[in-house]
Amino acid sequence: MGANFNLKTLTVALAALSAASIASAAGLDRSGQDITAFLQDGTYAETVYTYLDADVSGYDNDYVGKDKNAYKQGNKIGDIAESYDFFRYGVKADINDTFSVGVLYDEPFGAAADYSGNNNFVAQGDRDAVIKNVTGNPAYSEAVIDTVVIPTLQAQLAPGNPQNLTDGQLKEAQANYIGVLTAKKAADAEELTKGEGTNVEVRTENITAILGMKFGENKNFQVYGGPVAQQVQADVKLRGLAYSAATGYTAHISSDQDYGWLAGVSYSKPEIALQAALTYRSEIDHTLPIFESYPAASIEKAGEIDITTPKSVNFDFQTGINPTTLATAKVRWVPWSDFAIVPPVYTDVSKAQYPEGLSLVSYDKDQWLVELGLAKRLTPALAVTGNIGWDSGAGNPVTSLGPIEGYYSAGLGAKYNLTDNWAISAGGKYLWFGDAKGQIPTKNVVSNFEDNDGFALGVKLSYQAKQNFN
């Protein structure tokens, strides 16, 4: 066979790229759930810090009418994407030439959005605007419903049906009466939360334990798997006209831990630096404490919420092109169309108008992520990398709490071996976000976001030592 490509030195280059590996913009994906630390040769440990800063700005919807998909450019929405950072840790060791063990930590899913300024996602304290929005009647104001509408409806609904209304007319009057009272409560919430913007923060943490077993004549194949412990917590505030009667809604989901699993198979051919791995992560079912406040329904209640974080499939591939150059590919699939956050109070209140109830967050499509890269070893100690990527997003329109339809990306990285065992890596990516319209749970389009971008920076410190079992 030709020149030995030397897997260890070529992965010097590959590791530089993953220092800036960040999550997709689709759904709540963040870390990409990388497991390549476990696939390293010998004893290996890494700590990775990633920082993401995005600019996600647009306009609210000034359209008034019954078409849910119609859009008319309204007020400016400044950058809603809060910068965030997270850590990833990994350690792996070979027990012998057959069995390996590892532990990985990452923060796989999350969200951070915060609205501010003069737009429909910030409570402006305009009681009459809320009343018009909730009732759907542009002629209504608080004075009108207090002096005309409510007295008229109370007369129609007086005991004994003094106006001889039909059953249908009585039901309509009852619905209208409930509607105007709800509008007044929503106006109270708008005034009480004046100046507050819509805000969401979701964080998750994963710890994965992995056991791998190599087999085959040259130990080229490996199967691996293990348990996953996951914690989830979230806070959501809905504010402003965009959410109509739900303005003022607040939910706090407390952290709790539940469990899933991981399984995969890999193949390696060190003489040409070839390595391929297919990894499946299970969905994880959570039952979490939640406290909800829904002012328009006069409800403050503690309870429980069921959330299932999605399963995923990752495919990682690399192969040597020549003794100093490596080609890489990564494909990731996450079925976000199966995911939803369904708070009990929020959903129950929505059943008055939507019999099946509304979820607070849901997605229409699954996510696909593809990254292609090249890594070049310039000297025995220094390597550089470059890659391009595409993320499909999870549908458009998409939730107003994360209005991005995927992205294109380009990245550069470098790694320097400090000693035979210790190395430091750094990398960056620039992201072009896909244009998207934001929608609320009723599927009404409430905003439009275009021409947005962001960048990610990553730093990694790693340790690697060859183990010899001869």
Those residues with Cβ within 8 angstroms of residue 330's Cβ, 6 or more apart along the chain or in another chain: 32, 314, 315, 316, 317, 369, 370, 371
pLDDT at res. 57? 94
With beta carbons less than 8 A apart as the criterion, state whether 222 and 211 touch.
no
The answer on 155 and 247 residing in a single domain is no
Question: Alpha-carbon distance 253 to 257, whole Å?
Answer: 12
Longest pairwise C-alpha distance within the chain: 99
Structural domain of 164: 124-192
Co-location of 149 and 227 in the same domain: no
- How many other C-beta atoms lie within 10 A of the C-beta of residue 427? 27
Burial status of residue 430 (CB atoms within 10 A of its CB: 0-12, 13-18, 19 or more): middle
Structural domain includes residue 470: no
What CATH number did the domain enclosing 267 receive?
2.40.160.60
Distance of alpha carbon 364 from alpha carbon 340, whole angstroms: 10
In this structure, are 148 and 215 located in the same domain? no
pLDDT digits (tens, 9 = 90+) for 117-158: 999 999 999 999 999 988 888 899 999 999 999 998 888 888
CA proximity to 251, closest of 233, 271, 274, 266: 233
Same domain, 427 and 295: yes
Residue-wise pLDDT tens digits, 227-274 = 999 999 999 999 999 999 999 999 999 998 999 999 999 999 988 889
| Same domain? 186 vs 207 | no
The answer as to whether 152 is a domain residue is: yes
pLDDT at 20: 45
pLDDT tens figures, 45-104:
999 998 888 899 999 999 877 888 999 999 999 999 888 888 899 999 999 999 999 999
Residue 260 in domain = yes
Looking at the fold, whether 145 and 267 belong to one and the same domain comes out as: no
Check whether residue 135 and residue 222 sit in a common domain. Answer: no
Does the residue 1 lie in any domain?
Answer: no
Instruction: Return d(Cα 228, Cα 285) in angstroms, integer.
Output: 12
For helices 127-135 and 167-192, the axis angle rounded to 10 degrees is 150
Give SS3 for 12.
helix
Q: Are residues 258 and 399 in the same domain?
A: yes
Residue with tokens 């992205």: 407
Check residue 131 and give left, alpha or beta (phi > 0: left; psi -120 to 50: alpha): alpha
Domain boundary pick from 192, 226, 251: 192
pLDDT at 470: 63
Residue 2 is assigned to a structural domain of this protein = no
Task: Tally the domains of the chain.
Answer: 2
Residues 6+ apart with CB under 8 A from 117: 75, 76, 77, 78, 197
Question: Which of 172, 192, 212 is the endpoint of a domain?
Answer: 192
pLDDT value of residue 2: 42
**Are residues 165 and 312 located together in one domain of the fold?**
no
Average pLDDT, stretch 289-299? 95
Q: Which one-letter DSSP state was computed for residue 273? A: T
Q: Which of 164, 192, 220 lies at the terminal end of a domain, its last residue? A: 192
108 and 137 belong to one structural domain: no
Residue 410: closest CA among 454, 367, 380: 454
Let me know whether 361 and 452 are in one domain: yes
Give how far the C-alpha of residue 426 lies from the chain's centroid of Cα atoms, to the nearest Å.
24
In a domain, 64, yes or no: yes
Q: Is residue 119 part of a domain?
A: no
pLDDT band at 1 (very low <50, low <70, confident <90, very high): very low
Chain-centre distance for alpha carbon 397: 15
Residue 94 CA, distance from chain mean position? 34
Query: Is 92 within a domain?
Result: yes
- Taking only the tens place, the pLDDT of each residue in 160-209 is 888 888 888 888 888 888 989 999 999 999 999 999 999 999 999 999 99
Domain identity same for 234 and 332: yes
